[in-house]
A and B are shown apart, each in its own frame.
Chain A
Amino acid sequence: MTPNRPDPQPENSSPPQWADRLLEWFVAPHLREYLQGDLHEAFHQRVAQVGLARARRQYVWAVLHCLTPFFVKRLPPVSVRHTTGYNNEYQPLSNLHPAMLRNYFKIAFRTLGRHKLYTALNLAGLTFGITCFLLIGLYLFDELTFDQQHRNASRIYRVIEHKTVNGEATTLAAGSYKLAQESRKVLAEIENTTRLLRPGRANLINPEHPVNFQETITNADENFLQIFDFPLVLGDKRTALKEPNSIVINQDLARRLFGHTQVLGKTLQFSHMESPLKVTGVLKNHPPNSSFDFNSLVSEASLRTTDYFKQTMTSDWSSTDFSVYLLLKPNVNSQSVSTKLTNLVLANDKPAPGTSLSFSLQSLNDIHLGSEAITDGARNSNVAAMAQGSPFYIRIFGFVALFVLCIAGINYMNLSTARASNRAKEIGVRKSIGAVRSSLVSQFLVETLLLTGISLLLALVLVNVGLPYLNQFVNKQLTLGLGTDYRIWLMTLVAALLIGLLSGSYPALLLSGLRPVLLLKGIKVNPPGSLSLRKGLVIFQFTISTILIISTIVLFRQVQFMNTTSLGFNKDLLVVIDVNTGAARDRFETIKADMAKIPSVKSVSVSSRVPGEWKTIRRVKINTQGKTDAPKIAYLIGADKDFLKTFAVDLIEGRNFINPTDSTAVLLNETAARLLNITKPSDQLVEIPAMSRGGEFGPINDDNTPFKARVIGIVKDFHFQSLHARIEPLVVAYNQNPIHGIDYYSARIEAQGIPETLEKLKAVLVKADGDEPFEFHFLDQQLALFYLEDARRQTLLIWVALATIFIACLGLFGLATYSAEQRIKEIGVRKVLGASVANLASLLSMDFLKLVLIANSIGFPLAWWATNKWLQEYAYHIDLDWWIFALAGLLAIGIALLTVSYQSIRAALTNPVKSLRSE
């Protein structure tokens, strides 16, 4: 009774084939044969009566009339079929048929409900895995989407200058006025250009309520707001920066200065400018993932009246005073533009012999994570550089997130395959009554997906509980809610689906492939290979856990080391006060003396920079007089005679500064002394011909003569920069030096009554200059900021390690439970024959202990390699001691034992009568 019988009728008198096919397609199989037969019979009668053509038309008509739900509806499942006696071919339902899906879900819920312990283990593991994955994912997403608020982000580029002077290469994110001005006219690929200038900091004041507060000055030309999408709440972005003496401020600044944001047309005064500024726009506050952090923008046109700027506008091809951003036309190759840009500059400004110059373009998308080798130029040394992300940590955390998710998935796989024999009978019965493999696979997949779905929901709740803490750690404002970027949701769903499918597919394929006869006979279902596979998975998990434990310990120790190691100076109870106004700088002698008179102040010093400096420390070229070889590069700090005393820096050779006659004297640190081959300071003459200006070296004096100085002393090396960097050569010059004037007062104070001391210090400063805003901080707190990032990452790593271990333990626990269940008869027999509880417990635990030991031996070298590589990033770091590994190993073993022992002991304590009674 096969449907495809040769049609005995000649081809030309048959009904239209397409109608027949349509009929065969939609009519239910159990009705098809009789209906089609009748239709054909009627057709042939009609051919005889009315002719072929009409008969065919009528046939089509008749077929279309059968397009009713009655004929489309398929037969209900098997049982009904048998009773109605419809003798038909076997037609299994599609796996996606609603009835089948309903059944899958029903069975899944029942199975999950019946094995509550396993379900709970699986659920906990998956939930934890997904939670960690989401938390890290959110962090990574935020880091990777920096500066994406700009519509044209992929077309915006930052100009990078590569300069090599006599073999010394500098890479600077900066360019000249003309570069920006001319390139947009000359190069067809460039749609627009904009310049940014960050000349320093000054007090920004609302004249109606004058409160001194320092703000970074940022000058931008009129194109800036058109190239970038910094949304204006008030004002017109096309004209806001056009007029001279216009200023655009953001909402926060507006609230601080005026108390509200309706400030269009109001007046502000920048202390370094003569004319008042008119507010022409209010910017929305920057989103947390923006590289730009300016609070205000002053129109570049405001500068045009100054002589310095007039000169710049006519002839500046060579400076690096501006941050230049280009907006390229769509589909333009940035490589070719940078070549043309280089040629354009070289055509207008020949660099000095020995200097090579080229430009490249850095995409806005790369600024946050791809600027490690680039100095943020075009800014005064008072202005903080653009904050950067660390691609190293992005990679690390990306790996960790995937690992945690993997482990969770592996656990699931592990437990489900381990429990294969528990479900063997079920599968056997299903198969014998006709379940095909694909429907069994679907059933297992539905079970996994259901579990993943529930885990995902739980994870979403957990993430929202955990996010405030994460935000605190990473100093971000991450959220996961309905307003979150759709890409995050997409990622979440894809990850959950993937983990469900991947971890569900192995058990599904394995279990569904077994032969029903064997299953029902109760033959051992787990093929020998699967046990070693499961062991392999446990080893894998514990390897990762071990690595994470070790990394955590190492990171913890390193951070501790950096916080406690001796810096070569005393950082405690030091107040550092910024010098912001000219008066505070010029009258430093009296101010210093007044401060020193405060009883709770032990000593006061003025200096250009302080140890543990966060702003750029000026660098100089230095050479002993008469030497002709290339000058060395050293850092330079200007300081007075109380510097050594105030900071408790040791002088090991020579003498300190005494009085202004020492204005041409310098102290060297040990590293610098070694570099210059000076062992005993004896007024040796050194020449300092050049100093750094915004990343490049330039002559100190206009007539190109070097600054000549005598070496009078050598101080012990101290960490004047963060511990990430090696101690560099340092020159301590007198406070009156031609290279770097004073910028800070530092006062060492008593531990008692700190607030009162601060008040008194402020009074002294304000007395000297009423405009001085008294910005201060404690040096130890400032130093801790260097390691804040490390501390944050440490906390994060600890949590990830804990999560990983937790998940690994869940997996181990499940496996131990299963193994104890499987061996229950063996244990009963052993017990009857006289084995003790301790014997049995150790017998059961041993298996797992072996796995953990193997995991350790794999994890140790890997962890050593990884942590060692990471520690190399720090100039000063701890050693990798063997005890770290031993501790991690013991921890892993201890945790594993604790996990397993509960089940082992419980199994060992069972009364053998119970286990041996049945069968």
Chain B
Amino acid sequence: MKKTILGELEELVLLVVAASTQEAYGVPICEQLQQHTGRSFTIGAVHTTLYRLEEKGFLSSHVGGATAERGGRSKRLFTLTTAGGRVLLDMQQMRSRLWQAIPQAKLQLLGL
């Protein structure tokens, strides 16, 4: 099967879900994203991404508890699947391989 490609937002969302220690659903994910990236994302965009990741099999979901401020509406809680974890690992390995391939002198030349 063709390897599924992850978009930037998808990767970020997947990382946030993987990193979260509490229930992962729209609002906290959104907050985390903003905190870490400094960019704001709409709930709609986050939801779209979450469902897309679920479709790709990197996340799974179940219905969670409702709260008063949600107007009694349930949450859809997402958890990382094995496939999701693997794709994150793959990605990290790929990146570190590339990092290692960068000649030391290059970044120093740029004054970094």
**Chain A residues proximal to chain B, CB less than 8 Å:** 1, 5-9, 31, 33-42, 44-45, 61-63, 65-66, 68, 70-71, 87
B interface bracket (residues with beta carbon within 8 Å of A)? 20 to 34
Contacts known (A35-B43, A65-B44, A68-B44); A42 close to B71, Cβ less than 8 A: no
B98 within 8 Å of A (CB atoms): no
For the A-B complex with A37-B70, A42-B27 known, give 5 more contacts whose Cβ atoms are closer than 8 Å.
A7-B72, A8-B72, A40-B69, A42-B26, A44-B69
**Interface contact B43-A34, CB-CB below 8 Å:** no
Complex Cα gap A76–B75 (Å): 22
**Interface contact B51-A41, CB-CB below 8 Å:** no
**Interface contact B73-A36, CB-CB below 8 Å:** yes
Chain A residues near B30 (CB, 8 Å)? Answer: 38, 42
Complex Cα gap A259–B51 (Å): 83
CB distance from A846 to the nearest CB of B (A): 67
Chain B residues near A38 (CB, 8 Å)? Answer: 25-27, 30, 43, 47, 70, 75
Complex Cα gap A596–B69 (Å): 121
Complex Cα gap A44–B71 (Å): 10
CB distance from A67 to the nearest CB of B (A): 8
A6, A7, A37 — most chain B CB neighbours (10 Å): A37
CB distance from B53 to the nearest CB of A (A): 13
CB distance from B16 to the nearest CB of A (A): 14
User: Which of B1-9, B60-68, B82-90, B103-111 is found at the contact surface with chain A?
Assistant: B60-68
**Interface contact B73-A33, CB-CB below 8 Å:** yes
**Interface contact A68-B48, CB-CB below 8 Å:** yes
Chain A residues near B70 (CB, 8 Å)? Answer: 37-38, 40-41
CB distance from B8 to the nearest CB of A (A): 18
CB distance from B84 to the nearest CB of A (A): 17
Chain B residues near A71 (CB, 8 Å)? Answer: 44, 47-48
**Interface contact B76-A9, CB-CB below 8 Å:** no
Chain B residues near A35 (CB, 8 Å)? Answer: 26, 43-44, 47
CB distance from A869 to the nearest CB of B (A): 77
- 23 A-B pairs within 8 Å (CB atoms) are namely A8-B71, A8-B72, A34-B47, A35-B43, A35-B47, A36-B73, A37-B66, A38-B25, A38-B30, A38-B43, A39-B26, A39-B43, A41-B26, A41-B27, A42-B26, A61-B42, A65-B44, A66-B42, A68-B48, A70-B48, A70-B51, A71-B47, A87-B63
Chain B residues near A39 (CB, 8 Å)? Answer: 26, 43
Chain B residues near A34 (CB, 8 Å)? Answer: 25-26, 47, 73-76
Chain A residues near B91 (CB, 8 Å)? Answer: none
**Interface contact B44-A9, CB-CB below 8 Å:** no
CB distance from B37 to the nearest CB of A (A): 17
**Interface contact A62-B73, CB-CB below 8 Å:** no
B19 within 8 Å of A (CB atoms): no
Chain A residues near B66 (CB, 8 Å)? Answer: 37
Contacts known (A8-B72, A34-B76, A36-B73); A41 close to B47, Cβ less than 8 A: no
Which one, A31, A36, A62, A70, contacts B71 given CB within 8 A?
A36
Task: List residues 1-56 of chain B with CB under 8 A from any CB of chain A.
Answer: 25-27, 30, 42-45, 47-48, 51
Q: Which 6 A-B pairs have the closest CB atoms?
A: A37-B73, A38-B26, A66-B44, A34-B76, A37-B70, A5-B72
Complex Cα gap A61–B42 (Å): 9
CB distance from A885 to the nearest CB of B (A): 78
Which one, A31, A33, A41, A62, contacts B69 given CB within 8 A?
A41
CB distance from A87 to the nearest CB of B (A): 7
Complex Cα gap A33–B47 (Å): 12
Chain A residues near B43 (CB, 8 Å)? Answer: 35, 38-39, 42, 62, 65-66
**Interface contact A8-B27, CB-CB below 8 Å:** no
**Interface contact B71-A37, CB-CB below 8 Å:** yes
A5, A36, A38 — most chain B CB neighbours (10 Å): A38
CB distance from A7 to the nearest CB of B (A): 5
**Interface contact B74-A37, CB-CB below 8 Å:** yes
Complex Cα gap A8–B26 (Å): 21
**Interface contact B68-A8, CB-CB below 8 Å:** yes
Complex Cα gap A5–B75 (Å): 15
Please, which residue of chain B has its CB at the minimum distance from the CB of A67?
A: B44
Please, which residue of chain A has its CB at the minimum distance from the CB of B52?
A: A70
Please, which residue of chain B has its CB at the minimum distance from the CB of A61?
A: B42
Complex Cα gap A42–B70 (Å): 9
**Interface contact A41-B67, CB-CB below 8 Å:** yes
Complex Cα gap A35–B73 (Å): 9
Complex Cα gap A44–B73 (Å): 14
Please, which residue of chain A has its CB at the minimum distance from the CB of B40?
A: A58
Chain A residues near B73 (CB, 8 Å)? Answer: 5, 33-34, 36-37, 40
